[in-house]
């Protein structure tokens, strides 16, 4: 698992990355999309606990008002691959 701190079972790594991506929505939507895709797209590689923590943060990002279409599509694909 590449970064132990990021994948800690307390979920703080996922929360911090989600917070960063939320901050980037208005600053640079392309970077926001890159962060979301690279941080959460591989969620299936991890155990169910980590998957659920990651998906929880993806859902939180999806609730942002005026979410850029590129970020929306990335989130939609992640959630669809989870079956949500």
Q: What are the mean pLDDT values of the chain's consecutive 10-residue runs (84 residues total)?
A: 81 97 95 96 95 98 94 96 85
The pLDDT of residue 83 is 85
Contacting residues for 55 by C-beta, under 8 A, at least 6 apart: 40, 43, 78, 79, 82, 84
Whole-prediction pTM value? 0.91
The pLDDT of residue 2 is 64
The pLDDT of residue 8 is 92
The pLDDT of residue 84 is 75
User: Which run of H or of E encompasses 54?
Assistant: helix 48-62
The pLDDT of residue 82 is 86
């Amino acid at each position: 698992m590449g970064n132990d701190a990021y994948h800690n079972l307390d979920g703080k790594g996922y929360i911090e990355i989600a917070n960063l991506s939320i901050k980037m929505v208005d600053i640079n939507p392309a970077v926001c999309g890159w962060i979301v895709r690279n941080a959460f797209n591989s969620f299936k590689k991890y155990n169910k606990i980590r998957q659920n923590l990651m998906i929880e943060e993806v859902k939180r990002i999806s609730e942002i008002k005026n979410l850029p279409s590129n970020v929306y599509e990335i989130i939609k694909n992640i959630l669809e691959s989870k079956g949500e």
